[in-house]
Amino acid sequence: MSHQTVIVLDFGGQYNQLIARRVRECGVYCEVKPYTTSMDDIRAMNPIGIIFTGGPNSVYDPKSPQANPEIFRLGVPILGICYGCQLLAHNLGGRVVAATDDSAREYGKTETYFNTDCKLFQGLPAQGITWMSHGDYMEKVPEGFSLVAHSDACPNVAICDEARGFYGVQYHPEVNHTQHGTDMIRNFLYEVCGARGDWTMGDYKETAIRTIREKVGSGKVLLALSGGVDSSVAAALVAEAVGNQLTCVFVDHGLMRLNEGDEVEAAFKKWDINFVRANAQDLFLSKLAGVTDPERKRKIIGEEFIRVFEAEAKKIGQVDYLVQGTIYPDVIESGAGDAAVIKSHHNVGGLPDYVDFKEIIEPLRMLFKDEVRALGRELGLPEYLVMRQPFPGPGLAIRCLGEVTPEKLETLRQADFIFRDEVAKAHLEGTMSQYFAVLTNMRSVGVMGDGRTYDYTLALRSVTTSDFMTADWTRIPYDVLDRVSVRIVNEVPHINRIVYDITSKPPATIEWE
């Protein structure tokens, strides 16, 4: 796929992915690469521009991550952000020192004044708020550079050498707190680097379809469809490319939410693909009968899933390609190292060992989650599939504490549906990253009508997070919680008490098992 590329060179800053997102939002493809990337690799990518990220170090510390000086001779424009700006200064003859008095050390929102003759600030207001976070400052600006922005405390908030296309800003244009920050990045891309804006979802879709067609030829392609966003979009894309050479196996383990299996099936009916719904509900339930240990449940589901998938795969004979819905964050966040196993995650990603095929196709490898969603819409997938919140591979089995039975699953499904329905009615989805009901294994005494009840306690869980590694519990308005509680107790048999989980992760995890 040929499109103009910008490299975001990672010096350890916390907003690196955000910079990449901003560049792509401006219609330019970009990749985050470690600062140790070799010059040959950088040249091979033929970038139209390079962005140095921020980072926690001080450029004058000999142990700090440094730029290869050759990078300044490539003839490629560079934008340095925060630490990246100081790297430019440090390497090109300026001097960076630790701020000794508090006034030069800037954190947070800072009133800033810009020289709008500089290409970076062209067409933007001459004054605005920027988001600062630096303890070092440029005492001496390198030769050939001009000062193009200042704050009340700091004379050199931004520097540039327009002849060489080098720009540096002490603040973070990528964060929302910086007014017009994205416009400044856009100016760098379009006014300095000569970007054409060739990264659009429409173009991406067309190119991806062409590439898949060329690669696959007349071969057979297999995909494990979970109904999650990534595998659904990957399936839709490959379906558009090679139609009935594709077989999508959707293993319905009977642990899906209300109507979910039917919704997935309906969404894929429109493509002329071999959509196989392996109805294995009874098999999974029988294997889970009497099992209460969370890890045992996860293991059983993972193993059975592979068996069912394998049996379906065998029916189509030799498979040439296996499609996986790997997305960009999966690629860069790989390798958990020696981290302790908290839960054995069940992912379709474990399949290659079990199915014989020639090659893997990962058509979403270059996309962020929101880009995957945009592509899904381009391909005509319904909104409820495109916007689905994460749903764990083992499904409701790990939200139905203790033994999993058809009756308990049915109770949970109904309660979970009411929770989601009320959240949608209150338009709260945007504030909740993942929300669901958990059927605890605890029963308590209640009173309904004039009679005593002894029924299950249902827990509501909602978290707000960007990476799902840590998460805060969502402050859902009380009136919404109240409506959910009243409806569930009235409409769902066998639940007489509702609790709301107010633990963050850590110490809790998002799922209960």
Active-site positions?
A: 82, 172, 174
400, 298, 423, 380 alpha-carbon torsion, rounded to 10°: -140
Please answer whether residues 492 and 408 qualify as being in contact, where contact means their C-beta atoms are separated by less than 8 angstroms.
no
Does residue 369 bind ligand XMP (CB under 6 A)?
no
d(CA 57, CA 107): 15
Nearer to ligand XMP, 146 or 509 (CB): 509
CB of 427 to ligand XMP, least distance (A): 22
| Residue span binding ligand XMP (CB under 6 A) among the ranges 163-171, 249-257, 325-333, 503-511 | 503-511
Residue-wise DSSP of 224-279:
E--SSHHHHHHHHHHHHHHGGGEEEEEEE-S-S-TTHHHHHHHHHTTS-SEEEEEE
Does residue 509 bind ligand XMP (CB under 6 A)?
yes
* Cα–Cα nearest to 19, from 173, 169, 131: 173
195, 196, 202, 208 alpha-carbon torsion, rounded to 10°: -70
Nearer to ligand XMP, 167 or 250 (CB): 250
CB of 280 to ligand XMP, least distance (A): 17
Does residue 390 bind ligand XMP (CB under 6 A)?
yes
Does residue 511 bind ligand XMP (CB under 6 A)?
yes
Contacts with ligand XMP in 314-343 (CB under 6 A)?
Answer: 343
Q: At what angle do helices 369-378 and 229-242 cross, to 10 degrees?
A: 40
Contacts with ligand XMP in 468-487 (CB under 6 A)?
Answer: 468
Nearer to ligand XMP, 38 or 441 (CB): 441
d(CA 301, CA 286): 11
Please answer whether residues 389 and 268 qualify as being in contact, where contact means their C-beta atoms are separated by less than 8 angstroms.
no
* Cα–Cα nearest to 439, from 464, 469, 407: 407
d(CA 110, CA 439): 49
Token pair in block for residue 51: 């962005």
Does residue 394 bind ligand XMP (CB under 6 A)?
yes
CB of 463 to ligand XMP, least distance (A): 8
Contacts with ligand XMP in 424-463 (CB under 6 A)?
Answer: 434
423 burial (CB, 10 Å; 0-12 / 13-18 / 19+) is buried
d(CA 474, CA 201): 32
Contacts with ligand XMP in 130-149 (CB under 6 A)?
Answer: none
| Residue span binding ligand XMP (CB under 6 A) among the ranges 114-122, 261-269, 322-330, 502-510 | 502-510
Nearer to ligand XMP, 72 or 500 (CB): 500
Helix (H, G, I), strand (E, B) or coil at 99: coil
| Residue span binding ligand XMP (CB under 6 A) among the ranges 101-109, 139-147, 209-217, 385-393 | 385-393
CB of 351 to ligand XMP, least distance (A): 13
CB of 345 to ligand XMP, least distance (A): 4
User: In one letter, which amino acid is 233?
Assistant: V
CB of 344 to ligand XMP, least distance (A): 7
Nearer to ligand XMP, 146 or 347 (CB): 347
Nearer to ligand XMP, 57 or 509 (CB): 509
Strand order in the sheet with 359-361: 274-279, 246-252, 221-224, 321-323, 359-361
Nearer to ligand XMP, 27 or 392 (CB): 392
CB of 299 to ligand XMP, least distance (A): 11
Does residue 27 bind ligand XMP (CB under 6 A)?
no
User: In one letter, which amino acid is 41?
Assistant: D
Among 347, 405, 431, 457, binds ligand XMP (CB under 6 A): 347
Give the pairing type, strands 158-161 and 146-151: antiparallel
CB of 136 to ligand XMP, least distance (A): 37
Nearer to ligand XMP, 77 or 394 (CB): 394
CB of 81 to ligand XMP, least distance (A): 30
| Residue span binding ligand XMP (CB under 6 A) among the ranges 16-24, 28-36, 344-352, 410-418 | 344-352
Does residue 346 bind ligand XMP (CB under 6 A)?
yes
Q: Tokens 């707000």, residue?
A: 464
Does residue 464 bind ligand XMP (CB under 6 A)?
no
Helix (H, G, I), strand (E, B) or coil at 429: helix
What one-character DSSP code corresponds to residue 193?
Answer: S
Among 128, 181, 393, 395, binds ligand XMP (CB under 6 A): 393
Helix (H, G, I), strand (E, B) or coil at 431: helix
Nearer to ligand XMP, 277 or 343 (CB): 343
Binding site for ligand XMP (CB under 6 A): 343, 345-347, 390, 392-394, 434, 468, 505, 509-511
